[in-house]
Amino acid sequence: MRNYWIGAFTILAVAALLIPTTPIFNPNDAEKTPRSANFSAKREQTLKLSAVQNDMNATAMLCTSECSKDFQKLMNASMGSKSEANGHIKQMMHEHMHMSYISWISGDRSVSRGIIPKTTNGQAEAFVDEAKAQVSKGAKYESAAFNAKDGSRYMVLGVPDTKHTGIGVVGVIKQDIVKSVEKHQMRNLRLVPYPAEGNYKIESVKPNSTVDTTVRSGEDNANASHYHVRDVVVHFTKPLSDTEMQRIKNEINAESVKKMGDTFVFRSKNIETKQLMQYFKQSWNTEYTEPHYLYLTNETTESIVPNDALYSEYQWNLPSIEAEKGWNVSKGDEQVIVAVLDTGVQSNHPDLKGKLIEGINLVDEEAEPDDDVGHGTHVSGIIGATVNNGEGVAGVSWFNKIMPVKVLDSSGAGSTYTVAQGIIWAVDHGAKVINMSLGNYAEADFLHDAIKYAYERDVVMIAASGNDNTDRPGYPAAYPEVFAVAATDSNKEKATFSNYGDYIDVAAPGDSIASTYPGSQYAALSGTSMASPHVAALAGLIRSVNPELSNVEVMEIMRKSAIDLGDEGKDNYFGYGEIDVEKALQAASSFGGALQTYPDLVKRRLEHITTKYERN
């Protein structure tokens, strides 16, 4: 029998070599070797802390730059009277809640609105007076950041009118967004234990097991999965009768039962997961019984340069992946929907206006899928922040619609049930691409079933690999149906925090990425969570330029068009390389059918089987 299969595989391999194919692109020579991923825990922590500080600094600069542009617009607006000026300022402060105080300096027409925050020794008032003095002289002013008695962080900004001496705007800007980024990134880069045990009624365990482990530091997160302590996921071999279901509820003292297809999530009032698993395995016929795992927040063409206010100065990531050239081929299509399974999205963010379609909140089905963390809004902006509107940042896609599916709660965590439910909901409501900037180190058959459901219905699924600088496979990224993404920095090197391994498909920018953030603001965040949406947006563009492509063909085009980095060919740090939007879209627009990708698909399948056989 074994010789039969070897012979069959040989025939397939030969067939793959004989099938005619047109090259998708001319491969680049490999130039760089990635920096070693084998950091000590102390060194890794130092690098991650540096990344957090860089994100905080970049976010503060984004805040200052955006406010400066807004103040310029305020001065350029027609202000024939104090009442008109007052109206403009009132509207601006309503749209930008972080602007605590604005003073328009214009002689007799000067207008001030808002409140200067209380500080020790009148520090805020002193900064405002200095700003007004500098603006009156025609000079720009930026104070140092300071903390007020209300506990918030502020800075004072003065912007002079470049056309009229003595005229300008002075504002007190609340910068709590910087503190929010710090808190978010300490968790996102796993510098603190996350989620904290007890917060989510969860237990930390060694990956793919129920063996207890204690997470004392962020480093420990790389070797832990998490599950609900009184939950169990069960897939029965045959449907249960009402009598059988009632019996189960009585015997496990059920608190709740959730169902999706033939799979159930049982929660007991007093029996823990290990005992529940033992009960179902011994008393019932099941296909699988597993913990209810948690998933966390893991130049040949003329360039099109957007006029978005923060683009040229802060968005290194889009030129790096040749988005500016790729937009000549496709800017996206409203009919191709990209679902974002995350913490929700700020629905009224001015830079996402008109880009969102109806979504769902699966954490609280009575509420809208609003973002109470910031992660989902940031991811959505990378995919599709409005381009060429003179505001904020530019997304990778100009026209693809974004479907917000809230599967993570206010702590940035969500269960496999919710994530699986989100995948199925997105598929059933028309999503053609799904981005999952989330994950953990446990395989869950329950979630895998949902992923197979989407895959069989021709959906492209993209997932972040994780931020622990480990080669331990993270899920859902490591499932074969999912396209796994690692992160690069602005030097096209492996981002220090990025996970790696033989399951990585491609890499994309993930270091200090500027994007939309709640409060109608902008922030810079680092993580493979930021890399993944670049690839999801590319998948949306590919499906826009050639709607006939299957999900398998879309993924193969992204692999084959990637720019090779590191060791020649596919490697564990970059997969097939960093995505190239222009080459991918050119390949998609001239794609000739399945015969082009078939040899590579067969080759990779054989390599996968061989590797699996060697491991066993």
Question: Could you list the active site residues?
Answer: 342, 375, 529
68 Cβ neighbours under 8 A, 6+ residues apart: 140, 157, 159
**Sign of torsion, CA 388 390 395 400?**
negative
Cα separation, 482 vs 434, in Å, equals 10
3-class SS of residue 158: strand
What own/partner pairs with CB < 8 Å and gap ≥ 24 does 164-168 have?
Answer: 165/138, 166/105, 166/106, 166/107, 166/136, 166/138, 167/75, 167/105, 167/106, 167/107, 168/71, 168/75, 168/105, 168/135, 168/136, 168/138
Are 207 and 215 spatial neighbours (Cβ–Cβ below 8 Å)?
no
Terminal CA-to-CA distance of the chain, rounded, Å? 18
Q: How far is CA 129 from CA 135, 214, 435, 509, in A?
A: 10, 53, 48, 42
DSSP secondary structure code for residue 529 in this structure: H
Question: Closest Cα to residue 156, out of 128, 132, 177?
Answer: 128
User: For the chain, what is the radius of gyration of the CA atoms?
Assistant: 26
DSSP 256-268: EEEEETTEEEEEE
Which uninterrupted H or E stretch holds 276? helix 273-283
Cis before 599? omega within 30:
no
Answer yes or no: are the C-beta atoms of 508 and 488 closer than 8 Å. yes
Task: Report which of 435, 423, 414, 427 is spatially closest to residue 372, judged by C-alpha positions.
Answer: 414
Which of 435, 575, 555, 607 is CA-nearest to residue 505?
Answer: 575
Under a CB-based contact definition with an 8 Å cutoff, are residues 545 and 531 in contact? no
**CA angle 414-394-533, nearest 5°?**
30
The values of phi and psi at residue 155, to 5°, are -150, 155
What DSSP element (H or E) covers 522? strand 521-525
How many other CB atoms are there within 10 angstroms of residue 405's CB atom? Answer: 29
Distances (CA, A) of 558 to 365, 390, 483, 576, 602: 35, 30, 10, 9, 17
